[in-house]
Copies of this chain bind each other. A is one copy, B any other.
Amino acid sequence: MGRWEPNARMRLVRAAIDLFAEQGYDKTTVAQIAERAGLTKTTFFRHFPDKREVLFAGQEVHARLLADGIAGAPAGATPLQAVAAALDAVTATFVPEQREFGPRLHDVIAAHKELREREVFKRAGLGAAMTEALTARGVPDPAASLAADLGVRAFTRAFERWIEPANDQPFPELARQALDELRTAVATLA
């Protein structure tokens, strides 16, 4: 077995989600995940520190894509226009396989307090990445962190709609819609 397996990361994610759904999160070991993926435990630990982190595999990449999307928005863009560009950047990278295992991912996280905590922390991390990028564009605080929070909420709401079996809209379109809804709701508060 070579040192770098093609697609090892995604294979581990798929194997973990399948096993968590089949036999439960608590009963599943790293060894079982690696075996199901046709990889070694060593390869597992090259990608993830533990089984929990497999469920949050995308966090660093998503944070970077969101930050880059904000940095790359046109100079005259408003904070929420920059956030919309960030959502375009990250949602465009999602593949049909992620939509397919979305509901199982959602269920296993919902069933464990430890995982719900980690999910909340992931969202905070995505928000922090966007806040930093908005601040670098000159958006003052707290407007920067509020705009970032609307971006995280739009991402979360759009993901939940995207993985619904009846949905036929692309993820980027759903994210734009969700951000518009949030902007409208914010206007009623201000």
A-side interface residues toward B, CB under 8 Å?
Answer: 78-80, 116-118, 120-121, 124, 140-143, 145-147, 149-150, 153, 157, 181-183, 185-190
Contacts and interface: CB of A to CB of B under 8 A. Distances in A.
A124 B120 CA distance: 8
A63 to B, nearest CB: 15
As for how many copies of this chain the complex holds, the number is 2
Contact of A146 (B78, B118, B143, B189): B189
Contact of A187 (B157, B185, B190): B190
B190 A146 contact: no
A143 B189 contact: yes
24 contacts: A78-B189, A79-B188, A79-B189, A116-B121, A117-B117, A117-B118, A117-B120, A117-B121, A120-B124, A121-B121, A140-B185, A142-B181, A142-B182, A143-B185, A145-B153, A146-B153, A146-B182, A146-B186, A149-B149, A183-B189, A186-B186, A186-B190, A187-B190, A189-B190
